[in-house]
A = this chain, B = another copy of it.
């Protein structure tokens, strides 16, 4: 029951780095009482020594010299909060080679180069802990790895990007167009100046790669995740969806079918307004996980921001200090064993329901033409919506929803829709995802 005293060095004194420093300086005593771990901040490395930050460091801790972190053998854990997949990747290797554990929030790096880094950590007999890489302070990685360890996980459905959720919530609830909603997200600090990785779905896909690997126990190449962003979503379609009982979310979906094949995809999704994920609005994250024994468990919280993400970084520091992270890391048996690579479903063969809107000239024969194309592709209609009246170009939006069909059938049908002369422009196609109520 002696206190474990652990020295940590931080690389990257930005927003999250400042949060970590704040917790380490202000909460050390309480953390020691609750967990028995004394966390001692040895140095903070950042190339910018002068930028104002929301926390002040004791004199002498801040340095621009990375060697103070790498070469100090008294430092047990290096925290990488630099981000990106270039310099950070090299830093992980340097930290591991110099005998340090690594704690990181870098989802892009782990999604794209995880197996390489995990191998390096194995070779160095150290661990990489990355609770902060997914969903901020919400302990979702710990839930998958330990709380649900007895389960065969069959599916996870996540709202993994707070920026997109904030934008879509505003479009839905306040009838804002995409550009205004994005601007508001930027004003509120929920979206970065360059929000591309958020809104194009890549950020969610990075997180899904990490969560899917852990949930399904296999190595998942990042480029096997199917990705569509939210850039093309219009408020008219959001409103039509609402009329039909659906709310739009950028959903990250991981599924394992009965044959053990895995599918991973990120795309705008209409989900029933009665499903718990539909009620997660604003900048929050939530993940619904289905295990064969536990049924559906759902986790909700702030997925980003200074203090929530710092909360996860410090939780990892404690777990590394206690030795628990090393044990869990050593038992991530699927990496880097090549045979544990995921057997992946072809995205074209994934079954989904669809919402389709075509702008059609208001004249006889339109519905018959659609119906024939859909029937020819073995697609069955589950609902339809056409409001009376017409637009200025004499076209009307005709909305149909379908029963489940393979994606490749729908792609082929859409191609034919576009060739009809009664159709104006490109049809809108958004997947409808039926999240099960519970697996039991």
In the complex, what distance in Å separates the CA atom of A142 from the CA atom of B310? 18
Determine the chain B residues whose CB is within 8 A of the CB of A293 once the complex forms: 19, 23, 27, 137, 307-308, 310-311, 314
Shortest distance between the CB of A261 and any CB in chain B (Å): 16
Determine the chain B residues whose CB is within 8 A of the CB of A143 once the complex forms: 139, 142-143, 147
In the complex, what distance in Å separates the CA atom of A150 from the CA atom of B16? 14
Chain B, Cβ-Cβ closest to A300: B298
Query: Chain B interface: which of A220-228, A327-335, A374-382?
Result: A327-335
A347: interface (CB < 8 Å):
no
Chain B, Cβ-Cβ closest to A331: B36
In the complex, what distance in Å separates the CA atom of A311 from the CA atom of B302? 27
Please state if A152 and B324 are interface contacts (CB–CB under 8 Å). no
Please state if B323 and A327 are interface contacts (CB–CB under 8 Å). yes
Give the residue of B276, B294, B299, B318 whose beta carbon is less than 8 angstroms from that of A150: B318
Shortest distance between the CB of A154 and any CB in chain B (Å): 12
For window 49-65 of A, CB contacts with B under 8 Å fall at none
Shortest distance between the CB of A257 and any CB in chain B (Å): 16
A33: interface (CB < 8 Å):
yes
Determine the chain B residues whose CB is within 8 A of the CB of A150 once the complex forms: 23, 27, 31, 310-315, 317-318
In the complex, what distance in Å separates the CA atom of A181 from the CA atom of B196? 51
Copies of this protein chain in the complex: 2
For window 233-279 of A, CB contacts with B under 8 Å fall at 276, 279
A409: interface (CB < 8 Å):
no
Determine the chain B residues whose CB is within 8 A of the CB of A313 once the complex forms: 150
In the complex, what distance in Å separates the CA atom of A23 from the CA atom of B137? 30
In the complex, what distance in Å separates the CA atom of A217 from the CA atom of B34? 6
Determine the chain B residues whose CB is within 8 A of the CB of A322 once the complex forms: 324, 327-328, 331
In the complex, what distance in Å separates the CA atom of A322 from the CA atom of B145? 12
Please state if A331 and B295 are interface contacts (CB–CB under 8 Å). no
A394: interface (CB < 8 Å):
no
A30: interface (CB < 8 Å):
yes
In the complex, what distance in Å separates the CA atom of A379 from the CA atom of B248? 45
Q: List 16 A-B contacts (CB under 8 A).
A: A27-B292, A137-B151, A137-B297, A138-B297, A139-B146, A142-B146, A143-B147, A147-B315, A150-B312, A279-B279, A293-B314, A294-B308, A297-B299, A302-B438, A302-B440, A322-B324
